[in-house]
Amino acid sequence: MSQRWFNETLYPDYQQRHLVERVLYEEKTEFQELVIFESPRFGRILTLDGVVQVTERDEFVYHEMLTHLPILAHGQVKKVCIIGGGDGGVLEEVLKHKGVERCTMVEIDRKVVDLCVKYMPSICGKAFDDKRTDLVIADGRAFAKNPPEKYDLMIVDSTDPIGPGEVLFEQGFYADCRNCLTDRGILVTQSGVSFMQDEEARNTHKRLKALFADATFYVAQVPTYAAGFMTLGWGCKDAKLREVSRDTIEQRYETAGLDTKYYNPAIHFAAFALPNYIERLKS
């Protein structure tokens, strides 16, 4: 009996692939081609339009770094808005912070949410049942143009800039996100694996720099986002938030009572130390 492999199609000249033990669900939704399958090394994997989005085994790296780093840097996050993030991993991490009063998650494809709850519950836990969760099924680009309130933190957990996620990398969208933020608000964005997607990262930084007092990248090593560091965009209205002391971050981390697998106060600061090839994308 021949083996089935999932071959990722993100790049035209480079591929990673995963052995498929069992396909759990496969459908062309209104917005994208969705497949959830089991692999021997990474557990259950969600793919959209031929690209790996999240795996059970290493999701904690990406989700922890998108959430805990900006929340602890800010220190007083009460209202959060997530654009995308249909698997619920970012939502779950945000809600671990007791000071968060409400988290609005805007996802364009209801199918992603429902199927991840059904087939990948280890990622979202009970986050969608939390009374602080406000799930909005809508276009994130349109939502950012006319938000119902201001947010202390906006997290853009989007797909790559293809298909429905393409508009979430545009200058106008980032400008709308800035207008959604409170005076000390922070915007963090998925900005690709910059070793392979250098233009994506370069354009993200250029656009954030034009809008925020403090704009840079920070990085995380996510095994299934192959070929280098996952680059995360950082835009903040208050440049002092990245200068918060190590002692303060350690105190906030301890007070939050977080049981993290990747993030810690040392990683918090080290993540902003960029390899030169990424640093040069900011020039």
Which residues are designated catalytic? 157
Contacts of 204 (CB under 8 A, 6+ apart): 169, 189, 191, 192, 233
Q: 218 with 191: CB under 8 angstroms?
A: no
Q: 166 with 131: CB under 8 angstroms?
A: no
> Of the candidates 68, 265, 73, which has an alpha carbon nearest to the alpha carbon of residue 184?
73
**If residue 156 lies in a helix (H) or strand (E), which one and from where to where?**
strand 151-157
Q: 137 with 108: CB under 8 angstroms?
A: yes
CA dihedral defined by 138, 149, 216, 72, rounded to 10 degrees? -110
Helices marked H in 149-214:
171-180, 198-209
